[in-house]
Amino acid sequence: MHDPATLPVMIIDDEAHLRITAGQTLELAGYAPQAFDSAEAALAALTPDFPGVVVSDIRMPGMDGMALLREVRSRDPDLPVILITGHGDISTAVEAMREGAWDFLEKPFPGERLVEMVRRGVDKRRLSLENRALKAELEAQQSAPGPRLVGRTPAIQRLASMVQRISQVETDVLLFGETGAGKDLVARAIHERSRRSGRPFVAINCGAVPESIIESELFGHEKGAFTGAVERRIGKFEHAEGGTVFLDEIESMPLALQVKLLRVLQERSVERLGANVPVPLDLRVIAATKVDLKAAAEAGRFREDLYYRLEVVTLPIPPLRDRREDIPLLFQHFAVVAANRSGLEAPPVDAGGISVLLAHDWPGNVRELRNLAERYVLLGATCDYRLDALLRGVGHDTGDLALPQQVELFEKSLIDQALARHRGRVSEACEQLGLPRKTLYDKLRKYDLKAEDYRQSEAL
């Protein structure tokens, strides 16, 4: 919270006694009044990102209050301007509000009304400046190639420094972090900042590939290597030649296959199933896990020799609860991306909403935060943009809408979340949604969604 004594309030009036009276009232309330006898003098003293509010009489010689309002809004449309009107001058007050005045005071007015109006204006100004700073920081951080490591906490700054350093050297990497912390994103950040960025990035979820086919998926096979092998297949390792292989959930890899992976890492070559000649490989391997691999190795659930081969460079990824200061910045990023993608708008998060974000434990980490930001944009209007309600799932209640609107809103939300989850890869979104490719493209046109836009939502 800002100390009110540090927050200036411009008081502009050509009558000295009104400037003095208003100034004393605000000073007693703890603000720092700045008095001016003309609009021209006030504008000369107005600085960019002025942290307070402007209070001005409308009727003044020279530049009047309405002209001042227009000039202030041309410089900074988010700066609250409170105009003072004469008794009964309703038409002028209406015009002032249409021109964008924050509020108006009608003479004569009690001091407590002035203080209350300034207090609300100052709160609004603080929120505007905080959101402006967040957007500026996001723009600066988004200039880096590949996925963004968004944040200002020491934990994320250390991670960003390590990613930059590791990306410049040729070494395999082990990433350790909770579910949803962003292991896949860090892996791609390393790849995109490395000399391999122009070559393939091949991601494999070891826990999602059936054990019966994972060996063929990774290493490939020759025609006739087994029943059903009707033609040669190039495995993921060969496909990634010159680039990076990302093995997510490495702890789920079958023990028998871990022996072959160890050989690939040591010899940098691969043998297809049914072949006798090794194929040389030029690639980097990044593995990721959410469990303690050393403990798993000691318990016999993971090969100890493979663990020691992988843990040359281990990069821990902090959970969201350990970098709470980054939560508003990340939420802002995801909300802006979701708003741009959907064509919807959502109001900036107020102080109460930020408190909700900071108080939550985020067991789903960045993934959970991103999903909340997307619900905030898509469904927030159904619960007055209350983040506590959205966290409880109340935002899914669209009972105030007609049934066809409810169906469309829900359908658009499902498609949006599927594309976000698969980073715009249409084939994978179709598989998740159970839709033919043509049907999904028809719905993308219907809801004015573009698959390529979903690659911009990546951030950690």
Mean pLDDT of 179-203: 93
* Domain identity same for 178 and 284: yes
What is the CB neighbour count within 10 angstroms for residue 452?
8
Q: How far apart are CA 342 and CA 377, in angstroms?
A: 8
Q: What is the pLDDT of residue 9?
A: 94
* Domain identity same for 121 and 180: no
CATH code: domain of residue 307: 3.40.50.300
* Domain identity same for 441 and 310: no
* Domain identity same for 267 and 219: yes
Q: Which of residues 275, 300, 316 is at a domain's end?
A: 316
Quote the distance between the C-alpha of residue 39 and its chain's center: 41
pLDDT band at residue 405 under the 50/70/90 scheme = low
For the full predicted model, state whether its pTM sits above 0.85: no
Residue 59 placed within a domain: yes
* Domain identity same for 279 and 214: yes
Q: What is the pLDDT of residue 455?
A: 65
What's the total number of domains in the chain? 3
Residue 141 placed within a domain: no
Tokens of 384: 């007055």
Residue 142 placed within a domain: no
pLDDT band at residue 456 under the 50/70/90 scheme = low
Is 70 exceeded by the pLDDT of residue 33? yes
E-assigned strands of 75-176?
Answer: 81-85, 103-106, 173-176
Q: What is the pLDDT of residue 2?
A: 46
The predicted-structure confidence for 304-343, as pLDDT tens digits, reads as follows 999 999 988 999 999 999 999 999 888 988 888 888 777 7
CATH code: domain of residue 46: 3.40.50.2300
Q: What DSSP letter does each residue of 301-353 carry, written as one string?
A: SS-HHHHHHHTTSEEE---GGG-GGGHHHHHHHHHHHHHHHHT---PPP-HHH
Q: What is the pLDDT of residue 92?
A: 78
* Strand, coil or helix: 85: strand
* Domain identity same for 60 and 94: yes
Q: Which of residues 133, 168, 185 is at a domain's end?
A: 133
Is 70 exceeded by the pLDDT of residue 235? yes
Residue 292 placed within a domain: yes
Tokens of 452: 């390529």
* Domain identity same for 359 and 240: no
**Residues paired with 288 in a beta bridge:** 175
The predicted-structure confidence for 149-180, as pLDDT tens digits, reads as follows 888 899 999 999 999 999 999 899 999 999 99
- Using CA atoms of 48, 50, 55, 58 in order, give the dihedral in degrees to the nearest 10: 0
Q: What is the pLDDT of residue 395?
A: 46
Task: Give the DSSP H/E element, type plus range, for residue 430.
Answer: helix 426-433
* Domain identity same for 222 and 356: no
Q: Which of residues 252, 281, 316 is at a domain's end?
A: 316
Q: 404 versus 108: which is more confidently predicted?
A: 108
* Domain identity same for 308 and 351: no
Mean pLDDT of 385-395: 79
The predicted-structure confidence for 57-101, as pLDDT tens digits, reads as follows 998 999 999 999 999 999 999 899 999 987 667 777 788 888 888
- Using CA atoms of 143, 146, 147, 153 in order, give the dihedral in degrees to the nearest 10: -50
Is 60 exceeded by the pLDDT of residue 1? no
pLDDT band at residue 141 under the 50/70/90 scheme = low
* Domain identity same for 384 and 294: no
Is 50 exceeded by the pLDDT of residue 217? yes
* Domain identity same for 193 and 209: yes
Nearby residues of 24 by Cβ (< 8 Å), 6 or more positions away: none
Q: What is the pLDDT of residue 452?
A: 77
CATH code: domain of residue 415: 1.10.8.60
Residue 138 placed within a domain: no
Residue 65 placed within a domain: yes
Percent with pLDDT over 70 in the chain = 90
* Domain identity same for 306 and 345: no
Residue 173 placed within a domain: yes
pLDDT band at residue 4 under the 50/70/90 scheme = very low
| Residue 296 structural domain | 154-316
Is 50 exceeded by the pLDDT of residue 396? no
Instruction: Please name which of 132, 186, 190 lies closest in space to residue 155, comparing C-alpha atoms.
Output: 186
Q: What is the pLDDT of residue 399?
A: 45
Residue 459 placed within a domain: no
pLDDT band at residue 383 under the 50/70/90 scheme = confident
